[in-house]
């Protein structure tokens, strides 16, 4: 079974999800639950820090696709930071850079929310 871990932190109104390990069909429901809980609590400014993620499958990518419109309809957004090159390449192939803000550092993503 794949190892996957999520740590949630807050930076004022921005909620940071640090994800580590492998995000695949077995672990995607854990991420879905975390994002659903944030949305249900009225938290719509989300940064996903990919620094510790070493693998992502289509099921993992599907989680983000499932929630982006919901979050944006509520006036928020999901921004990505700290992607390893192999993770970025997969996202790039699927056009994610045109759909999401993908930045090098978490602080940059947080500042984008604070400057809106």
Tell me the pLDDT band of 2, cut-offs 50, 70 and 90: low
55 - beta bridge partners?
22
Q: What pTM value is reported for the model?
A: 0.95
Cβ(2)–Cβ(36) under 8 Å?
A: no
Surface-to-core class of residue 23, CB atoms within 10 Å of its CB (0-12 exposed, 13-18 middle, 19+ buried):
buried
User: Which contiguous run of DSSP H or E holds residue 58?
Assistant: helix 58-73
- Domain range list for the chain: 4-114
For domain 4-114, give the fold: Transcription Regulator spoIIAA (3.30.750)
48-63, pLDDT tens digit by residue? 999 999 999 999 999 9
5-58, pLDDT tens digit by residue? 999 999 889 999 999 999 999 999 999 999 999 999 999 999 999 999 999 999
């Amino acid at each position: 079974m794949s190892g996957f871990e999520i740590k949630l932190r807050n930076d004022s109104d921005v909620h940071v999800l640090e994800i580590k390990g492998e995000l695949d069909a077995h672990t995607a429901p854990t991420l879905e639950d975390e994002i659903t809980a944030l949305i249900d609590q009225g938290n719509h400014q989300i940064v996903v820090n990919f620094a510790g993620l070493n693998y992502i499958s289509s099921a993992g990518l599907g989680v983000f696709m499932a929630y982006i419109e919901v979050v944006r309809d509520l006036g928020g957004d999901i921004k990505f930071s700290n992607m390893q090159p192999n993770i970025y390449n997969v996202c790039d192939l699927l056009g994610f850079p045109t759909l999401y803000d993908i930045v090098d550092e978490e602080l940059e993503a947080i500042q984008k929310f604070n400057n809106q």
